[in-house]
Amino acid sequence: MPVRVAIGLLRDSAGRVLISLRAADVHLAGMWEFPGGKCEPGEPGREALQRELREELGIEVLSASEILVIPHAYPERSVELRVFRVDAWQGEVTPAEGQPTRWAAPGELLRLRFPEASRAIVNAARLPGFYLISPEPRSPREIDAEVRRIDRRLARGGIGLLQIRAPGLEQAPFLDYARALLASAERHRAEVLVNAPGAWLDHLPPTIGWHLTERRLRSLSSRPGCAGWLAASVHDREGLERACSLPVDFVVAGPVLRTQTHPEAEPIGFRGFADLRARAACPVFALGGLTPAHLPMVREAGGQGIAAIRGLLD
């Protein structure tokens, strides 16, 4: 049986994440970790989290949502991590066991050593709450207008992640669209993924991410080389399991509500999204008919945030 562990992802008012250094005499000594500890036999993950953070940090958890369920096999043991985003707590964080503990900026986490099982937690800590998907220009002549529209939205702030998607464009105009949006994203400090054939990425900066359609996801048997984020769109349990086994860094799931982009697709609703998220070993964005006003419901269901075209752009 795997060792069940409850983990908390805590952020301070500056957006920094709480991490601790593992002691020299324990498994995975000298690596950084997120606060939490082992569940007692039969103890639910949320109760274990509350108990561990009370004992370890001297705080009382007021609000927490499970965001990840991570099974992982080390050579010497197997673990199952139940990861919770802790949105509110009472008391001052005071390490009770003498372990080195500090708040770290999300961008700093990649430079620190974490256990392999914590990779998805690091991704959840680094990812923003909104993932803007570019609208598709109806023709190459409309590229400049769409770029200006997206640039205005990025300039208003709040968007840390952009997917460049235009399935109706041929390679040359798509690359023109992508290069213009990359320049805009760089100005406004947003990270970028491209939703296009893999060969097209060879003509773009090597740090760019790749967003996989379900068709492209099914064609892969192992994780492709990608210096940036690797993400995938999924619509059901089978797609989610395939994406997590690759593994990708995060997925987009839906449609949660009815959407203008795919009006024929049957929505899964917030309950269906929550059921799908409960099986996820990577962060999950909700897609389909959503706006920033839906973020509390998505977070309550354990989602990372919202992915949208019109809902975030307009």
Of 83, 117, 151, which residue sits at a domain end?
117
Round to whole Å and give the CA distance between 271 and 118. Answer: 27
Confidence at residue 23, expressed as pLDDT on a 0 to 100 scale:
74
pLDDT at position 24, please? 63
Is pLDDT at 223 greater than 90 in this prediction? yes
CA-CA distance, 121 to 86, in Å (whole number)?
13
When divided into structural domains, the chain yields a total of 2
Question: Per-residue pLDDT averaged across 77-86, rounded?
Answer: 93
**What is the domain range of residue 161?**
130-313
- Mean pLDDT for the chain? 94
pLDDT, tens digit (0-9, with 9 covering 90-100), for 159-196: 999 999 999 999 999 999 999 999 999 999 999 999 99
Domain shared by 202 and 255, yes or no: yes
pLDDT in tens, 156-168: 999 999 999 999 9
Among the candidates 80, 96, 117, a domain finishes at: 117
Smallest CA-to-CA distance from 82 within 34, 129, 127 is with 34
Confidence tier at 25 by pLDDT (50, 70, 90): low
**Could you tell me which residues come within 8 angstroms of residue 256 by beta carbon, excluding any fewer than 6 positions away?**
267, 268, 269, 270, 272, 273, 286, 287, 288, 289, 290, 294, 298
Question: CATH number of the domain that 158 lies in?
Answer: 3.20.20.70
pLDDT of amino acid 258: 86
